[in-house]
Structure 1
Amino acid sequence: MQKTAKQFLDLLESQQLLAPDILGELRRQLGESKSRLTSELIARLLVDNGHLTKFQATKLIAELSASSAKGPTTSSGTPSDDLGFAEDAPASKHSPNSGAPPAPVAKVFVDDDSETKSAQPTDDVVPAEISPARVSAMEGQPLVPVTKKNLSDTQAKRSSRKTTPPSASPADMPLRPRRVSAPQSKANPYDSFRILGVGLILALVLVAGFFLVNHFWRGNADQRLQAADSAYEQRSYESATLAYREFAEVFPANEKASYAKVRAVLAAIRQAAEGAPDPKLGLETALNSLPGLVGEAALAEQQSDLAGILIALAVKFNERADRTQGTAQRKLLMTDMEKLLELINDPQFVGVNQRNQQAPTLSRMQEDRQRILREINRDEELASALTAIDGKLAAQDTLGAYEIRKALINRYPLLETNQELAERVQQATSLERSLVKPVSLDLKLTATPPQTNVSRSFILANRSGPPAPALKGQVLFVKAKGSVYGLDGESGQILWRHFVGQYFPSQPLRVGENDADAIVSQPELGTISRLTGSNGEPKWSANLGSATHNPTLAGEELLVATLQGTVARLDTATGQLAWAVQLPQATATSPTTSQVGAGENPQLYVLADHSNLFVLSRSDGTCSEVFYLGHRSGSSAVPPIWLLGQLFVFENISTKSCKIRILSTTSTGLELQESQPPLIMDGNVVTPPQIDGRRLVVQSDLGQIKVLDIEPTAKTQRVSELATLPKNTSQPRKSWLFADNNHVLVADRQLMRIDVQVATLSMSHAWLKYDGDRFVAPLQKLGNTLIHARTQRGTQGIRITAANAESGEAYWETDLAVPVTYIGPSGTGYEAVNSSGMLYVLGNQPIRTEADENPGRSQPELLYEHATTLSDGRVVLMNSSRTNQLAIISASAPKMKLLSINLGIARATCPPVAVGDELALGLDSGQLVLVDLATAAIAGTPYQPAVQAGQKMRWNSPVYMASSQSLIAANDIPSLVRLSSEDGLRMTNEVALDDALVGPLVAVGEHVCAVAATEAGDTLQFFDSTNLQRGANWPLPGRLVSGPYATEQGCLLQTDGKLALVSPQGQPLWTIDFPASPLVSSPLVSGANWSLATRSGQVWVLSASDGQLLGRADVAQPLSSPMLQLGSSLLMGSEEGAVLALPIPTTPAEAP
């Protein structure tokens, strides 16, 4: 019987009806028991202890009996009988007189209290009396003797079953009532048939009963689960929760029990999340319930539903926060939401697939959350900023208040319209107005020209073309680079030149009509001068003591603003100060007022560096009004423009766009207010817009043009866009405009005229000229003559042109400000060559308006520089715009000749080097060639290192060793090669370099030195000129700026802040502080002294032995050519197109 008990336990385990620990304990007791334990006894014990219901026990025993019916039957009675759930059949029913014994019937008992009570077995076992069996013959059948071997196996086993000995004690009796078998009747020939039939019928009934019980049991569970699902789908979450929980409790072994547990929790969360406006209820339910689902088998398949619930709850948190006003309450909601996000981020509840499916919703939810958190931070910072601003205003620190506001607006742009901030701004603005005070300006007024170190200068220019008769008697004022020129309007002849500096923007102003004078300024020095138009002599010069913006001319008034915030009015005739006031802020641009034809306005508008626009009275400078704009520092590059009651302010809000703000004013220019939404330009406005009648033409640095029309009588929207041209470039570039009579002239990389078609509200191109040139100054129009200034492509000079304004055709052209690149002796005098290839013989004329020789005929792409002296005394300059072109200067006429060398598509990558009377050039194709200047052809065989197809190579300027007739060169492979120069170039040595070299190679004694650049710093390296073996090296005290230069004493180098001389053995001889501006050339040797010039215009005289400073002067102009000593003076070429004579400095000055 132990076997059936073990099978029963296996059945319990397979259906997961008992916990594993209980099953383990039953198996242990079964193994240790010495008495017989049956499956029926174990089932009864489990029912008594509440582990199984009677219905479950009956079903399990029936299943076990059905499985054992396939084999021999050893037990008497049915399992239900053994359990005591069904009463035994009375013995009297099996009397001999009855027919065949009735077939056994399997009874199915459900959990009903009345049936359970009737099915309980009694503990008392009553012995049954055994009556002798009577055997009677069947009707019509003879009696047949039956022997034992005729019995069926079942009958044989029944007859041979052992019975309990009478002497056995009650304790040894089995748990079920003992049944007394009737005496074996005599053999009956039909017993075998009866027994087989009854057994078969009993088996069929048992099997049918099993399936019937299973059908009703399963049907009841499916119906309950279906009802729970229906309630869940109908959003009856409370009913669904109860139904799921009941199912899980009633059917714990059902395969859907885990599903019901998970669904019960989901329904509870949904009920809390969707049934209440406060999302915290849903969160609390989720926090309390979800941890209990960890490990549930059905959780994985329900993750999609759970993810939807949690994410919807998170969205509800955001929506609740959006409806909440208090910052503290919103912050608390976001804190609670953080707990919900932890559940969402837990892969046990929201898996990767669910996260991917819900990605758009998750992204929107996170974006909303970040927005809300940003709003919370914004509100907290706003409260803090308001408190800080109040403190600044109490201390009358308006700039500090503006800085706090600006910092807050930069982080949170939407706060720009905040009412509380606007109130503080209004308070600060009112305070700003009271802080505008009159100031006593220490104006230094003089009528003498400024002192310079230059003793004499020669202006080199070249004029060509017919005169412009319409400009007869007129003087033109134009600025080219850092100088203002006065030119005769009819011929283009240069009358005078006045240097004002290159680094601060300024333009000359024209005072008067026919006998006009020029107002010029040196903004970095704070100097303003009125120059006589005919000769450039100053009538007066005023120094304001600090850097200024370009002044504004308004009739006889000259309005000036310093960068520090001082605004002054000067009289144009005498330079006398009328008034001066000090603003509480720095200024961003020049002052502005009404222009001619724009209407009368007694006000002056000054744009502060940031935040405010000041309105001053032109008569006495009192502050009439302060308008808060809120613009950033550095965002405005041009002054405001007032036109017909509208004030236009141009604010560059980014590198790609500009906002045109439109402020309306009264007829007196006051009561400013923004009258309409701003207009947006593509690009920045960096040059002043132009007025054409009632229209304003604006162009951006990306080429977009807008024509704005002002209708003064309109009640609203007085400014409208008449026509627009889209941007034409993606890279910013400066352009200049001139508008007149619906014609717009635009000068940037070309000059074009655009006609405004008022009828069609469009613009059309009329003509285009000078494509590829770069225009450098504002356009001027006198009558019907247009004056413009441009740099031709590939050149460095400025060409001033007078042209017909209708057609653009030129009258005369004057080339000036062309850099001088060579000065040398010429017979008994001196000659100079500029970068356009024009040669001038210097004499007594201070202004040359025509070159002595001009072989290049002022064509584009002329840039002759890098003068190299050949062994025969000739000088060669290379055209850096077209490196196959050379200019040769000789003593015989013509003194200058131009050569073109056939280099194919290759370009030279370094300055040329003289090799005897030939020239060595390193090309980007990798070749190093010798050029025969007599034939303008390549001499001999060039040197060609191995390069990959399409690779471009850069050569350092090589050095020629005349004693060994060898050329030593370096490239960026990097390698160093030694080449024999006999019959072409042939390599004799080559070494690989660790780092690429920068600058030229120079010979110092028998060594070659060069500078290697590494990330750690620059190092001067020495190489043996015969075998290229590396020698000494010396770390530079900074990065190389210019050099190295070969001197008798050693190698001279300039770094960023130092000048050093190093011996051929690699030892520093001396090091001094020196400007960072690059040297123009190697030092000019004069005995034991050196003269050096920087490109910024400083001239130093040093002792070559120890670097002691002997003299220093500043010519205040950029220099461009090597110096030449002329007695006690130095001649040097200027970037401004002039040759300057400077006495050799003898007075030391403080080092910079």
Structure 2
Amino acid sequence: MQKQATQFIALLESQQLLSPDVLDELRRQVADSRTRLTAELLAKLLVDNGHLTKFQATKLIAEIREPLEEPEEEEELGFAEESSLPTHDKSTGKGSSSDSPLAEMLFDEEEEPAELKVGELAEVTAEVVEVPPPAAAQALPTAELSDEALLPPVSRRLPPKKKANPYDSFRILGVGLILALFLIAGFFLVNFFWRGNADERLGRADDAYEQRSYETAATMYQEFTEIFPANDQASYAKVRAALAAIRKDVEGVPDPKLGLDTALEQLPPIASESALAEQQSDLAGALIALASKFNDRADAAETTAERKSLMAAMEQLLALINDPRYVGAQQRNQQAPTLNRMQEDRQRILRDIQRDEELAAALSQIDKKLTDRDTLAAYDIRKQLVNRYPLLEADSGLQERVRRATEVQRELVEAASLNVQLSDQPLSAPETRSFVLAHRTGKAATSLAGEVLFVKVKGAVYGLDGESGEVLWRQFVGRDFHSEPLRLGQGASSDVIICQAEKGRLARLAGKTGGTLWSADVGQPLRMPAVDDQDLLLATLDGTLASLDIGAGQTKWATKLPQSLPCAAGVPADKPHLYAVAEHSNLYVLARADGSCQEVVYLGHRPGAIVVPPILLLGQLFVFENINSSLAKIRVFSTTGKGLGLSETQIPITMQGNIVVSPQIDGRRLIVQSDLGQIEVLDVEPTAESRKVSSIAGIPNNLFEPKLSWLTTDSNRLWVSDSRFTRLDLQVASGKLSRVWIKNDGDRFTGPPQKHGETIVHSRRLRGNQGVRVSAVEAESGNPLWETDLGVPVTLLAAGDTGLDVVNTSAMLFSVDKTALRTEADADPGQGKPSLSFTDPVWLSDGRAVLWNQSRANQLAVYSPTGQKLHLLAAALGTASPSCAAVAVGDHLALGLDNGQLVMIDPSNGSLAATPYQPAIEPGRKVRWNTPAYLPQGQALIVASDLNKLVRLSIGPELRSLREVDLESPLVGPLLPLGEQVCGVESARVGDSLLIFDATTLAQVANLLLPGRLIAGPFPQTFGCILQTESQLLAFSSQGKRLWAVDFPNSQLVAAPQEMSGKLILATRGGNVWTLDADSGAVLGQTDVGQALSAAPLVLPAGLMLGSDEGAVLALPVPSGAAPDSKSGGGQ
């Protein structure tokens, strides 16, 4: 049978039905096969692999098996008996009858193909096709491919002789076979020319794609998939066809939506194609390019609706880009920069869409507000929108609304009737008589002879003799609102305007005497007034501007603005207009003659952004706007010759910090300083065509925290006062500010310096001191001529042998008699040096008082009623500092130090009177002590600290621990003896409690919850103790029983209440003096002295003496008459 297979292969070769490579492979496998191979088996295999049709195979088998011509005997190819063959069931496709055609028996489609494989070859044509290498072909099966398995057994039998068929001749059959072969060959030839070669077709499609002929390429790829559906490049062609269609619309059509529609149509069918993975980079580039096209189209769109539609469509495209089937992780990483830019552009466009929608809504709301003439609400809507979208500030629609709102604002300005109450009485008629304490040193300032200087120190205005620095008069005006005395002229005849801004009062005082020429009560709080020529310009907080005649205080005119005013109006000298900045948004230009509104300019500033008046210089109006806590800008508006027609003509000048004090004018220059130390010298060139204001010199900011500072200038010289006094010279040629000298480094200046000729007067607080020193210094060198200490707090009042002895915190002693003004101290052991702050006097048993210096840890001031009344000494504390107030132990002092020691000091010489007590502490630990409690009957001290220990110490040559107990929480405030007990206050999360301990065993015997947190006390009283919480004053007996409680303001008591004939006299730091019944706590009287108090009241038969934080002693009668809002409660 191998011979028959060989003949079959030869017949194939002779008819050129297979390519030579396939024929060679067939020969090799037939030769290597160990089983018999039949022609039928090979034919079936070739049909299954698409190399032959069933018709071709049938004809070839017929030729191989055609019997030889035998004249005598007819040989017949028979089959098995009919009974042994299976019948053919059409419904199942199984079996065949004996008379079925041979092709139907051999090539039943339901049979399993043979194991013989001749590679995946293209359908046989007249051309040679690719054949896989021999290694790809599998060996023929050895046991299953016998001809017996495929064909029924063949039997030979001699049929009965019959008459020969004339059509069985070879001529007829051969001619028919040849014609059939020609027809088959023609069919394949035509098919070949029509279909062409697969590689060539694919190559032509790729060339068209690379040349961006996407429409042609898409057609060619589609034809390839239809012609060669079984080709291994068919998946590639399908993907490429989709890509070409997408790129055609992406790159060739302006509307990106068409490209999106194409992508949505083409991509889903190819999502599962195997070739898509290798084309993802190309697809990613096309989709991202389409996304960028959406962004570009949206940028060019004229309407918000069109942009919104494009962005909505782009959402579908982003879904495709985010689908890993189309854009993989690798492509996403490679395209990350482009994707990021695309997303940023998209977010910008979406934000623009939202901005435009909000703009449209805001314009509608603003129109409604303007219809209602509610300009402030309209401004707020605009401001909120511009804060979110700063570029909208230049929007024409918003600018038009601003113009309309500005017109409405101008219409809302109206004349006002300001009810000013005039009198010739002082601003306040105090019930108290004051004794002013000042201390002057130095020499005369001859250049100021005949001058009267006006300075404000803390809450009082002083008139000083310019030549000597002596105090001529004092008038208390208050600290709540900032105000400075306004000088009305030069020389001895100059008067001054003073203002109690928080009370809405102002007065004109005679310069020499301080007498009141007239006073006016406006009835509402004022901003700092401004003076020019004979006009006094007032600005109230509610937005009223008024002009008063300086001579008599009469009102000339008053104008009500629709907004409040954050500062005084800018009043340029000898100009017909004044400039008032509103609390926010607008600047108003008013006629100086009658207050009529001439112009309104929209600034758009936020509330509180402008705190100094505008300044007009050479036709340029300067507005100083603080943008935030660390940045300010100087806005420059050009004006016409009459000061109208304001227009912002140049970019604002920025400064680090805030501008909180008025800049100074020096000729054609404006010097501006910020609270972070930056200085800018601005030069005005009115003839310049564009930028008329420029910075010609400056100093960068040099402070990390805001600090109030002032400057004065004259002839290119600047004097700056902040934490030191500095002179700077302006070098115009080099554009620099050069520093000449520095004085008073470390001090804190408290007001603007005043330049009088070549003398400068400034005020400052020395470092470590509580008073203010006013100095007249030489402008050229900064050296002092005279110095006067004012406003030094009084810390001790005592009845002396010749009058009232007063000690202030600078360790100056004054013996006060009936003289109202003291210009020099009786004793000054501190010699006016820095770091002097003596407070909290402790009275010893021998009548002396000891004051501790809070600025210098080891320094004491000892007051004695006789002899040398005041002297200073140093205590032997080493490097340690006191961490609590001292307590008197006979003639000695006991106090705790931060190094953990508790010491006993002899105030006669400052030495240690006993060996200190030292608890065990960790190295470097700082200990906070409570003021100890002294038990004279037991000669013991009860001490406590933040070590959470309560200790009883014996007093002797050594402070020795007798007993100690643990505390749950540290105590606050001092310890205080209560008979045989000791009390202290414990602060816990739930509140403060008064704890009472047995003085001997230290066992806790009571825990009384207080109504609020402790702010002062406990203070010793004859009946027990008094302490002050945030809302009440409470009294306890010596047994720890609560006696009474009274509602009390949250202002700390200055010192322990003073007892007087069953009454308690209390003074608070805020300036209130109370009289209470000692038994019930009922309020018997109360008065407000109007200024802060700093010393314990001294009770005298004629009344009370109070020490003021303003450096004065106040005398007043004991308050009587219950306060209207006071409440008292009985004991509990």
Using the TM superposition, give the Cα deviation of residue 465 of structure 1 relative to its aligned residue in structure 2, in angstroms: 0.4
Candidates 807, 812, 831, aligned match of 2:786: 812
State the distance in 2 between where 1:1049 and 1:244 align. 111
For normalisation by structure 1, the TM-score amounts to 0.80
Stretch moving more, 513-522 or 416-425: 416-425
Report the 3-state secondary structure (helix = DSSP H, G, I; strand = E; otherwise coil) of the residue aligned with 2:381: helix
- Structure 2, gaps ≥5 residues long: 1-16, 71-78, 88-94, 106-115, 122-129, 138-195, 1127-1132
Change (3 A) 1:886 1:353: farther
Q: Where in structure 2 are the equivalents of 1:351-390 lying within 5 Å?
A: 358-390=335-367
Whichever residue aligns with residue 333 of structure 1, its letter is L
Partner of 2:124: none
Using the TM superposition, give the Cα deviation of residue 761 of structure 1 relative to its aligned residue in structure 2, in angstroms: 2.1
**Residue 675 of structure 2 is aligned to residue 734 of structure 1:** no
State the distance in 2 between where 1:69 and 1:1061 align. 128
Change (3 A) 1:243 1:433: same
Partner of 2:298: 321
State the distance in 1 between where 2:284 and 2:423 align. 84
Partner of 1:773: 747
Change (3 A) 1:963 1:125: farther
Tell me, yes or no, if the aligned pair for 1:1033 and 1:1066 is still in contact at 8 Å: no
Using the TM superposition, give the Cα deviation of residue 512 of structure 1 relative to its aligned residue in structure 2, in angstroms: 2.7
**Residue 684 of structure 2 is aligned to residue 706 of structure 1:** no
State the distance in 2 between where 1:696 and 1:212 align. 99
Partner of 2:506: 528
State the distance in 2 between where 1:224 and 1:1049 align. 118
Stretch moving more, 225-234 or 783-792: 225-234
Candidates 636, 640, 646, aligned match of 1:666: 640
State the distance in 1 between where 2:29 and 2:869 align. 127
Whichever residue aligns with residue 581 of structure 1, its letter is T
Report the 3-state secondary structure (helix = DSSP H, G, I; strand = E; otherwise coil) of the residue aligned with 1:688: coil
Partner of 2:35: 73
Change (3 A) 1:348 1:989: farther
Using the TM superposition, give the Cα deviation of residue 1020 of structure 1 relative to its aligned residue in structure 2, in angstroms: 4.2
Tell me, yes or no, if the aligned pair for 1:55 and 1:110 is still in contact at 8 Å: yes
Tell me, yes or no, if the aligned pair for 1:85 and 1:121 is still in contact at 8 Å: no
**Residue 57 of structure 2 is aligned to residue 119 of structure 1:** yes
- Structure 1, gaps ≥5 residues long: 1-53, 87-107, 133-162, 181-199
Q: Where in structure 2 are the equivalents of 1:113-152 lying within 5 Å?
A: 117-119=55-57
Candidates 1088, 1093, 1098, aligned match of 1:1124: 1098
Report the 3-state secondary structure (helix = DSSP H, G, I; strand = E; otherwise coil) of the residue aligned with 2:496: strand
**Residue 495 of structure 2 is aligned to residue 557 of structure 1:** no
Per-residue CA distance 1:739-789 (angstroms, 9 max, x = gap): 101111111111111111122222211111111111111111111111000
State the distance in 1 between where 2:869 and 2:30 align. 130
Report the 3-state secondary structure (helix = DSSP H, G, I; strand = E; otherwise coil) of the residue aligned with 1:422: helix
Per-residue CA distance 1:39-81 (angstroms, 9 max, x = gap): xxxxxxxxxxxxxxx999x99x999999999784365457532
Change (3 A) 1:501 1:178: closer
State the distance in 2 between where 1:993 and 1:354 align. 70
Using the TM superposition, give the Cα deviation of residue 581 of structure 1 relative to its aligned residue in structure 2, in angstroms: 1.5
State the distance in 1 between where 2:226 and 2:981 align. 100
Per-residue CA distance 1:608-665 (angstroms, 9 max, x = gap): 1111111112212122222222222111111011112111111111222211111122
Stretch moving more, 276-285 or 743-752: 276-285
Partner of 1:513: 490
Whichever residue aligns with residue 537 of structure 1, its letter is G
**Residue 443 of structure 2 is aligned to residue 466 of structure 1:** yes
Stretch moving more, 611-620 or 486-495: 611-620
Whichever residue aligns with residue 449 of structure 2, its letter is K
Partner of 1:655: 629
**Residue 692 of structure 2 is aligned to residue 718 of structure 1:** yes
Partner of 1:11: none
Report the 3-state secondary structure (helix = DSSP H, G, I; strand = E; otherwise coil) of the residue aligned with 1:337: helix
Using the TM superposition, give the Cα deviation of residue 526 of structure 1 relative to its aligned residue in structure 2, in angstroms: 0.8
Report the 3-state secondary structure (helix = DSSP H, G, I; strand = E; otherwise coil) of the residue aligned with 1:1096: coil
State the distance in 2 between where 1:1046 and 1:928 align. 22
Report the 3-state secondary structure (helix = DSSP H, G, I; strand = E; otherwise coil) of the residue aligned with 1:580: strand
Using the TM superposition, give the Cα deviation of residue 710 of structure 1 relative to its aligned residue in structure 2, in angstroms: 1.6
Report the 3-state secondary structure (helix = DSSP H, G, I; strand = E; otherwise coil) of the residue aligned with 2:503: coil
State the distance in 1 between where 2:277 and 2:916 align. 78
How many pairs align? 1017
Whichever residue aligns with residue 296 of structure 2, its letter is E
Report the 3-state secondary structure (helix = DSSP H, G, I; strand = E; otherwise coil) of the residue aligned with 2:694: strand
Report the 3-state secondary structure (helix = DSSP H, G, I; strand = E; otherwise coil) of the residue aligned with 2:894: strand
**Residue 515 of structure 2 is aligned to residue 537 of structure 1:** yes
Report the 3-state secondary structure (helix = DSSP H, G, I; strand = E; otherwise coil) of the residue aligned with 2:1110: coil
State the distance in 2 between where 1:256 and 1:992 align. 92
Whichever residue aligns with residue 397 of structure 1, its letter is D
Using the TM superposition, give the Cα deviation of residue 799 of structure 1 relative to its aligned residue in structure 2, in angstroms: 0.4
Candidates 485, 503, 520, aligned match of 2:480: 503
Stretch moving more, 341-350 or 684-693: 341-350
State the distance in 1 between where 2:807 and 2:468 align. 24
Change (3 A) 1:866 1:372: farther
**Residue 726 of structure 2 is aligned to residue 752 of structure 1:** yes
State the distance in 1 between where 2:101 and 2:951 align. 115
**Residue 1015 of structure 2 is aligned to residue 1041 of structure 1:** yes
State the distance in 2 between where 1:658 and 1:680 align. 6
Whichever residue aligns with residue 881 of structure 2, its letter is R
Report the 3-state secondary structure (helix = DSSP H, G, I; strand = E; otherwise coil) of the residue aligned with 2:672: strand
Using the TM superposition, give the Cα deviation of residue 1013 of structure 1 relative to its aligned residue in structure 2, in angstroms: 4.1
State the distance in 2 between where 1:1104 and 1:756 align. 67
Using the TM superposition, give the Cα deviation of residue 718 of structure 1 relative to its aligned residue in structure 2, in angstroms: 2.1
Tell me, yes or no, if the aligned pair for 2:427 and 2:507 is still in contact at 8 Å: no
Report the 3-state secondary structure (helix = DSSP H, G, I; strand = E; otherwise coil) of the residue aligned with 1:410: helix
Stretch moving more, 456-465 or 66-75: 66-75
Report the 3-state secondary structure (helix = DSSP H, G, I; strand = E; otherwise coil) of the residue aligned with 1:921: strand
Partner of 1:431: 408
Using the TM superposition, give the Cα deviation of residue 85 of structure 1 relative to its aligned residue in structure 2, in angstroms: 3.3
Partner of 2:572: 594
Change (3 A) 1:451 1:127: closer
Report the 3-state secondary structure (helix = DSSP H, G, I; strand = E; otherwise coil) of the residue aligned with 2:502: coil
Stretch moving more, 276-285 or 715-724: 276-285
Per-residue CA distance 1:287-343 (angstroms, 9 max, x = gap): 556566767777677666655555444443333222222222223333333444455
Partner of 1:102: none
Candidates 315, 333, 336, aligned match of 2:313: 336
For normalisation by structure 2, the TM-score amounts to 0.82
Stretch moving more, 319-328 or 1049-1058: 1049-1058
Partner of 1:1146: 1120
**Residue 534 of structure 2 is aligned to residue 618 of structure 1:** no
Per-residue CA distance 1:1008-1029 (angstroms, 9 max, x = gap): 4444445554444444544554
Tell me, yes or no, if the aligned pair for 1:801 and 1:813 is still in contact at 8 Å: yes
State the distance in 2 between where 1:364 and 1:1053 align. 69
Whichever residue aligns with residue 858 of structure 1, its letter is G
Change (3 A) 1:391 1:1067: farther
Candidates 1061, 1066, 1071, aligned match of 1:1097: 1071
Tell me, yes or no, if the aligned pair for 2:526 and 2:539 is still in contact at 8 Å: yes
Stretch moving more, 285-294 or 275-284: 285-294
Partner of 1:893: 867
Partner of 2:423: 446
Stretch moving more, 539-548 or 409-418: 409-418
Whichever residue aligns with residue 42 of structure 2, its letter is S
CA RMSD between the two structures: 4.0
State the distance in 2 between where 1:364 and 1:1111 align. 77
Per-residue CA distance 1:244-281 (angstroms, 9 max, x = gap): 77777888898887777666655555444444333334
Report the 3-state secondary structure (helix = DSSP H, G, I; strand = E; otherwise coil) of the residue aligned with 1:702: coil
**Residue 189 of structure 2 is aligned to residue 211 of structure 1:** no
Whichever residue aligns with residue 57 of structure 2, its letter is A
Whichever residue aligns with residue 552 of structure 2, its letter is T
Stretch moving more, 703-712 or 515-524: 703-712
Q: Identity rate of aligned residues, in percent? A: 51
Candidates 553, 577, 587, aligned match of 2:555: 577
Stretch moving more, 1121-1130 or 165-174: 165-174
